[in-house]
Amino acid sequence: MKKKTYVDNNGNALPYPWLINTALCLVGGSQRLRLNFWNKHPKHAAERTLRDILTISKDTVYGKEHHFDRILSATSAEDLFRLYQQYVPVNDSFETLRPYVERHKNGEKDILFPGKPDMYATTSGTTSEPKWVPMTHKYLKDVYGKMTHIWIWNFICHRSRIFGGHLFTTVGKELEGYAPDGTIFGSVSGVLVRDVPSIIKKHYTAPACVMSIDDYAARNYTLMRLAIQYRDVTLWATANPSTILELLRTLNENTLEMIDDIEHGTLSWNFDISDYIREELADYMKPEPKRAQELRDLLEKHGKLEPKHFWPWLQLLSTWKCGNTKIYMEKYMDQFNWDKTFYQELGYIATECRFGFSLDETNESVLFPHFHYYEFVEESELDSPHKNYLQIHELEKGKRYCAYVTTYSGLFRYNMNDLVEVGGKFYNTPTVHMVSKVNGIVSMTGEKLYEPQFIDAVHKAEEELEIKTKFFVGFADIQESKYHFYFEFADEKIDQKTADKFATIVDKKLQEINNEYESKRASFRLHEPQAHILLNNAYARFKAACLRDGFRDGQFKFNLLMQDDKRRRKFDQIERETTLSDKIIEWANNIDNRINDRKERRAKRRYTRQERRLKRKQNQ
């Protein structure tokens, strides 16, 4: 018989949150009905949404430059789509939109959309300048907000008592600064969490100010210290599975200190946290000696603290599960009780737009054709100068496409640079799931090496050599026409010779998987890959360095295969530290060996002297 998800091992049950559930069902349920309706009519939804976006922006600078009035004169959906493709160019990168956004940032109105944006969401760009993605009032309220209502209501559909306990969410910083005209920039998720109704906000394990802690280690410590003081955490939601790994590692490295903080209602002074944040957190930290003792008992019983032990009522875990994120989630799967905890894919969400999200146990994202206008290019045409842009109703199950989006926030035919695969249908609209970034496809000499192929090759090498990796990443070096493979091995004693052998097996597996790669290796157009050994916790060190450079955690869609000299230099630094560490270890081992050799020679001399004395006595 299946265990009740809301009952712990002692038979205690979560309370049923009647008031919250009723309110969310009224709000989210009505939006779900709209979603169902428009997914039954995807072509009509696409036409209606595109017309609405163009009508709103037809008198703006961008609308006039690109003849929105002429496009809107179309009398059929087919003509509308055709004219839109004719008059509006594809924005393959943010750089083609940047001049318009800069005018908004400096106070001008009616450039990409009427008026000015409510805020900007910043994220990394293809150049040294970050993207400043504008967020209009309509988009935040009528698109992002209503999608959030469905997302939260969907939690209740799977776990009706989820709001009977505390909610552990990690989002971006709501306010990072101001544009020249005074408009704020920061994280969309941070702003939305800030503005949620107080009836839900009081269930959060930590206030929004925690995400303003600048020091990465201090922020992680504070998040986990505040979260594990509650026994009744029911939801853990964060975009990146790597964040879960890092938070659990922080817990394991500071377990006793966290328990001591919980017992006394304190926050460790070993971490750099400003006084004003400590003051704001004071109301969230009361002495909990009973909970502290429970955690100590769990630690003694199991050897370390894991979510399945200290959160017996955890109802739902929500993260990305597609693409390269699988690498990270595999490392913590055994720490949760999946008989009770529902693991839901977060969905296809980016800074530019909330493309869609999963509503069930699959990884497929349901699309919102009444909120976004979508276009797609089949994978086989990505290198073609004459691409065929398909509508949402023209997608075929099992095929892969690059996604383009037009939004209510001034993104027109914007290339998401993501490769998605089409799954089954939600009513009459295809669902999709993320495969990789298109720039996760590397091709120096025509080999078209895919990130999933590289991941598969590493896993096969692990099986063949019975060597485990904790982290790995590959970089294309076009100057030397070869790949550099960086490995962090579970066994820190692995030497360069073994790493070279591991890279050779990865190379061999890639040739078996990808015939183009095989032919380029055989023709010497691609040279043998080079192996590098990384320092322990290399990914965490790399990510911390990137966060210091201005990245945000939720934006960290890190590719495991890329052509990026800037990121590769960061890993080279980690490798150089490894090399220095190896030299120190080698030096220490040599000293030990010399000491042991001396001891052995002395022992032999003593034995020889004793043997000689015995022989002399025997002769006498």
Where is average pLDDT lowest: 52-56, 338-342, 381-385? 381-385
Using the predicted structure, report yes or no on whether residue 532 has a pLDDT greater than 60.
yes
Rounded CA-CA distance 121/102 in Å is 14
For residues 72-87, give the mean pLDDT: 97
pLDDT of residue 593: 58
What's 16's DSSP letter?
P
pLDDT of residue 119: 94
* Spatial contact of 346 and 318, defined as CB atoms under 8 Å apart: yes
273 burial (CB, 10 Å; 0-12 / 13-18 / 19+) is buried
Express each pLDDT in 430-469 by its tens digit. Answer: 999 988 778 677 888 778 888 889 999 999 999 999 999 9
pLDDT band at 128 (very low <50, low <70, confident <90, very high): very low
Where is average pLDDT lowest: 163-167, 184-188, 497-501? 184-188
* Spatial contact of 41 and 428, defined as CB atoms under 8 Å apart: yes
* Spatial contact of 341 and 318, defined as CB atoms under 8 Å apart: no
Using the predicted structure, report yes or no on whether residue 140 has a pLDDT greater than 50.
yes
Phi, psi of 613 (to 5 degrees): -60, -40
pTM: 0.79
For residues 592-611, give the mean pLDDT: 60
Where is average pLDDT lowest: 189-198, 244-253, 514-523? 189-198
Express each pLDDT in 340-367 by its tens digit. Answer: 999 999 999 888 999 999 999 899 999 9
DSSP 33-63: HHHHHHHHSHHHHHHHHHHHHHHHHTTSHHH
For residues 178-193, give the mean pLDDT: 86
* Spatial contact of 240 and 556, defined as CB atoms under 8 Å apart: yes
Rounded CA-CA distance 113/102 in Å is 13
The mean pLDDT of the chain is 88
The sign of the dihedral angle between the CA atoms of 23, 27, 30, 32 is negative
The sign of the dihedral angle between the CA atoms of 167, 172, 174, 175 is positive
Q: Which residue has the higher pLDDT, 43 or 331?
A: 43
pLDDT of residue 322: 82
For the chain, percent of residues with pLDDT exceeding 90: 64
Q: Which residue has the higher pLDDT, 500 or 93?
A: 500
pLDDT of residue 34: 97
pLDDT of residue 127: 46
* Closest to 171 (Cα-Cα) out of 161, 150, 159, 186: 186
SS (H, E, C) 316-338: EEEECCCHHHHHHHCCCHHHCCC
Express each pLDDT in 307-332 by its tens digit. Answer: 999 999 999 999 988 876 777 788 89
The residue whose two tokens read 């428009």 is 38
* Spatial contact of 146 and 139, defined as CB atoms under 8 Å apart: no
pLDDT of residue 44: 98
For residues 5-9, give the mean pLDDT: 85
**Residue 338 C-beta-side C-alpha neighbours within 13 Å:** 8
pLDDT of residue 605: 59
For the chain, percent of residues with pLDDT exceeding 70: 89
pLDDT of residue 1: 42
CA end-to-end span of the chain: 88
Using the predicted structure, report yes or no on whether residue 402 has a pLDDT greater than 50.
yes
Where is average pLDDT lowest: 417-421, 510-514, 518-522? 518-522
For residues 397-408, give the mean pLDDT: 97
For residues 5-28, give the mean pLDDT: 90
Q: Which residue has the higher pLDDT, 167 or 597?
A: 167
Rounded CA-CA distance 568/545 in Å is 13
Express each pLDDT in 188-204 by its tens digit. Answer: 877 767 767 778 888 99
pLDDT of residue 581: 52
pLDDT band at 388 (very low <50, low <70, confident <90, very high): very high
pLDDT band at 595 (very low <50, low <70, confident <90, very high): low
